[in-house]
Structure 1
Amino acid sequence: MTKSAVEFDPFSEEFYANPYEIYRRMRQDAPVYYNAEYDFYALTRHEDVAAAFKDHQTYSSARGVDLAQIKSGMPPHRSIIFMDPPDHRHMRNLLSRAFTPRAIQTQRDTVVELVRKYLDRVDPTGFDLIQDFSALFPVEVITRMAGVPEEFRQQVRLWIDETLHREPGQMESTEAGAQAAADTAIFYYNLVQERRADPRDDMISTLIAAEIERDNGEMTSLDDLEIAAFATLLGGAGAETVTKLLGNAIATFARHPDQWRTLLDDRSRIPAAVEEILRYEGPVQYNVRCTRKEVRVHEITIPEGKPVFLIGASANRDPDAFTDADTFDIDRDRTQSQNLGLGYGIHSCLGAALARLETTIALDHLLDFMPRYDIDWERCERVTMQNVAGWSRLPVRVLS
C-alpha cells in the first residue's frame, strides 16, 4: 500500500503532546490510514469509527485491544474487554448488574465523601490537581466497590499507571510495567480466593456467588481467573478515566474561562459540560481491533488479520459530525452525533454512568473551591500512556 503523507505514530512524542492536528490531517487526507512500520490501519472519521465499533463480526476484540497484544499472537486472558459475542453478551449481562442506575446512585455519598476528603487536604495557594486530587479519589471509589482493602487502594492506582506507561517510541510495556501488570493480577487473584473463604458485601463476593450462561447454554460459576481479570479491568478503567477526564477539564476550562464562569452561574450545566469534555478532549484516544475478514472502506481494502485503530477522539472532532467541532462549547447541540468519548456498541464503557457521576460531583466542588484559578503551564506534564491521554502533573493556584 502507498505510504501516506500523514504520519501517525501512536508512540511518538508528537502524538503524546497533541494528537488533534494529526487527526485532522488523517480525516482529510488518509481516512483509512496505513502505518507500514507497525503494519496497522486506522480509521478517524466519525461515520467510519462509529460503524466499526458496532461491527464486531469484522472488527474483533478477541486477539487483544492494543497493538502489542495483537502483534504478540498470544491469546489474552479471559476478560470481557477481550471477548466477542456470544461470550461477551453473557459476561456483560452478568457484570452490568453492578452498574444499574440504582447501583450507581448508591455511590453518590461515597463520591462526595472522598471528593471532600482529598480537596480539604490541598493548599489553595499551590497544588497539583492530578497528584493531590484527581488521581486519588476515583480509585478509592472503584476499589471500595470491588472490595479492595483500604491499605491497597492507592497501590492499585500506582500499578495501573505503571502498566499503561509507554516510553516514547516504544510499543511494548516497560519492564516495570510488565511487573506491575503481574503484581496487579496476583493481588486480585489472591483477593478473590480470600473472598471465597470469607465473603463480604462487595462486588468480588457478588461475582463469586453469581452464575453465567456459557456458549453451550450451561450455567456455571465464574472461576477465580475470570473474576480477577474483571476486577483488574474495573480498577484500571475506574481509576484512569476520571483522573484524566478531570485533569483535561480543568486544563480546558483554564483556556476557556468564560465557560467556567458559565458553570459558576448555572450548576445545572455541569452534566452538559462533562459531555463536552468527553467529546472535546476525552481521556480515551483509541481502541484497537483486529479484522476477522477482509473489509473495504473508502475504496481501500483492509486485509483479514490486521490491527485497526478506531480513533474515537478523532471522530469526536469530525466537522462532518459536529458543527465547529474544534470549538469547546458546553452548550452545543449534543443530538448532532454520537459522542464516542466512552466507547460505542457492545464495548461501550460499563462504568460510564459512574464516571459521569464522579466527574459531575468533583466539578461542582471545584467550582466552590476555585471559582478563579490559573495553571502553571511550564510545570505541566502529560502522560505517555497506551490509549489514554491526559496530564500527570497540573499545578494550579486559586486566585482571590
Structure 2
Amino acid sequence: MDVAGQSVAEVHFDPFSADFYADPHAFYPRLRAEAPVYYNETYEFYALSRHADVAAGLKDFATYSSAYGVDLAMVRRGKPVPAKMIISIDPPEHRVMRSLVNKVFTPRAIGALQAMITETIDGFLADALGGGTEFDVVQDFSVYFPVDVITKMLGVPAEYRQQVRLWIDESLHREPGQIEMSKSGMQAMTEIWLMYYELIKQRRAHPRDDMISALIAAEVGRDDGSTSTLDDAEIAGFATLLGGAGAETVTKLIGSAAVTFARHPEQWQQLLDDRGLVPVAIEELLRYDAPVQYNVRRSNTDVTLHGVTIPAGAPVFLLGASANRDPDAWTAPDVFDINRDRTEAQNLAFGYGIHSCLGAALARMEAKIALERLLEVMPRYEVRWDGCQKVSMQNVAGWSHVPVRILT
C-alpha cells in the first residue's frame, strides 16, 4: 500500500512479542482498519479484531470450537483437550457442566460471600499499608486477595492458597517469542492438579462446607438421560480453572484502576464524591483495559470473512480487548469515561455466549469492595511511574508493579 508516495508497512501482529506485552492496544487499530481477518505466517494463526466479528465468534461454538484449548500452543496440536475443564468443552457436554456450576455461582451464593470477601480484602490492605504512605497496589495488595477468596471457596488449606497463585503465574508466564508452556510451567500445573486430587480424596472421605465438597456431592444429568456424579478429573478441572481465573482477573483489574485513575484524576474525584459510581467505573475499566486480551479457538469449517477464508482446523484469536475499543461499536473508544453509554455495545471483557466468565459476578463484587477501600485509604495519590511494570503472559495483560504514594 502506498500513501502520498510513502510506503506503508504491512500490518504485523505478534501476541508473543515484548512490544505487545508492553502495549497491546498499540496494535489493534490497524488490525481493525486494515486486516480484520489477520493471518500470521510465523505462527500460522488467524485473528479477528472487530467487535461484530469477535462477538459473533464467541457465540458461534459450532464454527469456533473450544474443545482444543484456549491458547495457541494447545490449539495447534489439533487434538481435543483431555482434561475435563468447562472452558475447553463444547456442547452438548458443556451444557451439563455449565448448569452444574451455575448452581454454585447463583446471585444468592455470591451475595452470601460479601462478608468473607470484605474481611479478606481489609486484611491484605492493612498489611500492604503497614501504617505507611507508600505501597505497591499490585505486589503488596491485589496479587493476594483474589486467589485467597477463590481458594477459600474451593476449600484449599490456608498454607496452599498463595502457592496456587505462584503456580498459576508460572504456567501463564511467557518470555517474548515463547509459545509453549515452559518446563517449570508444566511442573507448576502438575503441582496444582496433584494438590486438588489430594484435596478431592480428603473431601470424599470427610466432606466440608466448601465448593469441592459440593461438586463431589452434585448429581449431573447426562445427555443420555442418566445421572451420575463428577469424577476426580472433572472436579480437578473445575478447581484448576476457577483458581486460575479467580487469581488473575481481579489482580490485573485493580492494578489497572490505580494507573488509569492516576491519569484521569477528575474521574477519581467523581468516585470520591459518589461511591454509587464504583460499579459503572469497574465496567469501564473492564472495557478500556481488559485483563484478558484474547481467547483462541479452532475453526471447525472453512469461514470466509472480509474476503479472507479461514480454513478448517486453524487457530483463531478472538481479540476481545480490541473489540472493546472498536470505534464501530463505541463512541470515542480510546477515551476512558466512567459516564459513557454502556448500552452502545456488548462489553466482551468477560467473554460472551456459552463461555462467558463463570465468576464474573464474584469478580465484580471483589473489584467493587477493593476499589471502595482504595478510595478510603488513598483519596489523593500519585503513581511512581518509574517503578511500574507489566506482566509477560499469554492471554492476560496488565500491571505487575504499580507503586503509589498517598498524598496528604
Do both proteins adopt the same fold according to a TM-score greater than 0.5, normalized to the shorter chain?
yes
In the alignment, structure 2 segments of 5+ residues that lack a partner are 1-8
Quote how far apart the aligned CAs of 1:190 are: 1.2
How do residues 69-84 of structure 1 correspond to structure 2 at under 5 angstroms? Answer: 69-76=74-81, 77-84=83-90
Task: State the partner residue of 1:87.
Answer: 93
Quote how far apart the aligned CAs of 1:398 are: 0.6
How far apart are the structure 2 equivalents of 1:206 and 1:125?
Answer: 43
Task: State the partner residue of 1:34.
Answer: 39
1:250 to 258, 264, 279: 258
Quote how far apart the aligned CAs of 1:259 are: 0.7
Task: State the partner residue of 1:137.
Answer: 145
How many residues align? The count is 397
- The reply to whether residue 389 of structure 1 matches residue 397 of structure 2 is yes
1:215-256 deviations in whole A, cap 9, x for unaligned? 322211100010001000000001101001111111111111
Task: State the partner residue of 1:107.
Answer: 113
Quote how far apart the aligned CAs of 1:160 are: 0.7
How far apart are the structure 1 equivalents of 2:161 and 2:79?
Answer: 30
8 Å Cα contact 2:17-2:177 kept in structure 1: yes
1:32-65 deviations in whole A, cap 9, x for unaligned? 0000001000000000000010000000000111
How far apart are the structure 2 equivalents of 1:111 and 1:256?
Answer: 28
Quote how far apart the aligned CAs of 1:122 are: 2.2
- Which 4+ runs in 1 deviate beyond 4 A? none
Task: State the partner residue of 2:225.
Answer: 217
1:267-308 deviations in whole A, cap 9, x for unaligned? 000000000000000100000000011111112111000000
- The reply to whether residue 162 of structure 1 matches residue 183 of structure 2 is no
Task: State the partner residue of 1:352.
Answer: 360
- The reply to whether residue 20 of structure 1 matches residue 29 of structure 2 is no
1:62 to 67, 71, 87: 67
How far apart are the structure 2 equivalents of 1:354 and 1:70?
Answer: 29
Quote how far apart the aligned CAs of 1:213 are: 2.0
Task: State the partner residue of 1:342.
Answer: 350
Q: Secondary structure at the match of 1:111?
A: helix
Percent identical among aligned pairs is 61
2:318 to 286, 310, 315: 310
In the alignment, structure 1 segments of 5+ residues that lack a partner are none
How far apart are the structure 2 equivalents of 1:358 and 1:282?
Answer: 16
How far apart are the structure 2 equivalents of 1:225 and 1:95?
Answer: 15
Amino acid corresponding to residue 114 of structure 2 in structure 1: R
1:311-332 deviations in whole A, cap 9, x for unaligned? 0000000001000000000000
1:319-372 deviations in whole A, cap 9, x for unaligned? 010000000000000000000011000000000000000000100010000001
1:97 to 103, 115, 136: 103
Amino acid corresponding to residue 107 of structure 2 in structure 1: P
Task: State the partner residue of 2:3.
Answer: none
Task: State the partner residue of 1:373.
Answer: 381
1:125-148 deviations in whole A, cap 9, x for unaligned? 221111110010111111111111
8 Å Cα contact 1:167-1:174 kept in structure 2: no
How far apart are the structure 2 equivalents of 1:8 and 1:289?
Answer: 17
How far apart are the structure 2 equivalents of 1:55 and 1:138?
Answer: 31
How do residues 195-274 of structure 1 correspond to structure 2 at under 5 angstroms? Answer: 195-274=203-282
Task: State the partner residue of 2:329.
Answer: 321
How far apart are the structure 1 equivalents of 2:180 and 2:267?
Answer: 39
Task: State the partner residue of 1:284.
Answer: 292
